[in-house]
Structure 1
Amino acid sequence: MTIPLTLEQQQKLGHVSVLYSPPTLAETPHSNTTLRFGLIADPQYADAEPGVTHLRFYRNSLCKLEKAITELNDHRLEFVVTLGDLVDREWESFAAVMSVYEALRHPHAVVIGNHDAQVISEHLAQQVPVAGLPKSYYQFSQSGYRFIVIDGNDLSLYCNAGNGEQHQQARAMLNVLEEEQRPQAQPWNGAVGLRQLEWIEQTLQQAKRQNETVLVFGHYPLAPDNRHNLWNCEQLVELLCRYQVRAYFAGHDHEGNYARIGNTDFITLKGMVDGADRLPFAMIEVKNGELTVNGYGPEISRFLPLEAPIVSETFS
């Protein structure tokens, strides 16, 4: 299932509408034994001076992204996923960063991050009539694997008037989390809504019937506990672990993180925008259930067996 853009949304988004399209994979994978794909998190480009507080070098992201794409193009990958926040601010930023992505020779799946969502939503809110922030959850598959992209901006403060009552629902959910003093009770996070939760479970049921290995991609981390996590992260963790999802990959927390819950690995990649020269990204290999993260730059490399004796593990 893909929530297609309306004709009105396509027209108002223009070239940015391609970010909502699922990738089309080759019918025959490059390898019969090993799945390989690339991961990029939070380029967060803007034509802006570096952030003093977080040491984010927004302009440098274009050069960093070019280097990462050049490296990924040298490998036989099935696809590349950008885990959100292609841009930091301003509608014009999309044209610059998407021009760099044109050099990518692999199918590309994009997760819409909170900064992306805010820029897109503000652009659509300025149109007449107002168009709501589109939903961006979908699935794709290849030879024994099911890939699911979830939309953590489904219920968020980025929803505009075109999304009906969803902005108010998001505010109410955030108020409850703030009263409970939950660490993820931050206005720059979001949640997966009920309809999407039902779709995710239906997709997992279908994958289980077909004996497929499932990998899930989102912008907001789910575990361990963190102020960057999805508002309803506990619901997603329970759901993914119940269906034995092999791994969940996220961005958003630029420091990166890791947790193992049951037999599911929760991997958060470091943010590309941080630091003048730091260039984190990764290539993932999956073989016989074993998962290898080949980290570049400061990104941590990991070997993750199918079954681990440790219930939960965290790295900073």
Structure 2
Amino acid sequence: GALVLVTGMDHVDQEVKDVHIKVFRENGNTTEDLQSFLPTAAWNGSSGVLSIAVGETALSETQYLVVWNITNPNVSRSSPPSIQLVGAGTIYMSPFNLTKDVLLHEPFVVTGMILAAMGQNETSIGRANLISLRFATSTLLPPSTEISVLSLPLLDPLDVQQTFLPSGFSKHPTESLIFVVDQNTMAGREYEIKLVVRNRQHMRESPDLLLKMTGGINIVPFVISKASGNAAPFLIAGLLLKNISQTNFDQDLDNTIAVNVSMNVDLKANVCQLVLLGLKDSQTLSTSSLPIFNTNVFDTVAMWTAETGELKVKLQRDVLAGDF
């Protein structure tokens, strides 16, 4: 699952009393209190790591408020600790569409967290201090996601009294050409997918294809500090639909369509789907399969449903971000 680490507590000799996890969703002018984290958490006193598991899939664009009590060390606090959010792991993505018209200007899904606010209620030495951290996630969090609070070393275990949110992950229907990730893939590589269809129309233009992505991605670590606030460096999760070409545009001729795609995220095996839309006016050479050429990632033959134009293709090896 995705891992979120809160780091940067500026003193290690403080005593943590308890931690509360609260979840808020903005709904107009009102704030809806949600239940989402599990009521128990694992605490490592020597490292100061607090891990809280997500019980069910969490919604994106939801604000989470983490509150914990500490005893201030032998200094007076003028402001909350300089906390950082660090994320890594696997998250779920909402679908997004890319067309050949936008190419390099497609709307990416922003994967990351916004450190919205921090606060405390006590600055005096030796007094109990309630510290709060509010952040928002821009993506869906799957079950087994962990939220971790770091740099709070202490001897006593924490009593986590609040839970995180239950909500279902809505699987959006696919329509046309589906590439199923078979193994964990690497972001940043560029792939050329070639498929052969038989034209049904004369003087057919290159298809107005759409790329759609759903599922889970493995994200590289990122750090968000209090100083950066909402300008925190997000990891941008998305695909580049770089080029679409074809070899034939005459009616009833076999037509090889090439699609160049670059991804900048790691794709989760058996969860992620790449969907290629816009081929409903084509027919395949076979009612059950469609040849795929010129790629070392996808299977060479994909299962094809002629009635719906749905094509499923699996990756046959790992593909990581950043590879070209």
Give the TM-score, by structure 2 length.
Answer: 0.22
- Write 1 or 2 for the structure with the bigger share of strand: 2
Query: Which has the higher relative contact order, 1 or 2, with Cα contacts under 8 A spaced 6 or more apart?
Result: 2
Which is higher, the Rg of structure 1 or of structure 2?
2
Give the TM-score, by structure 1 length.
Answer: 0.23
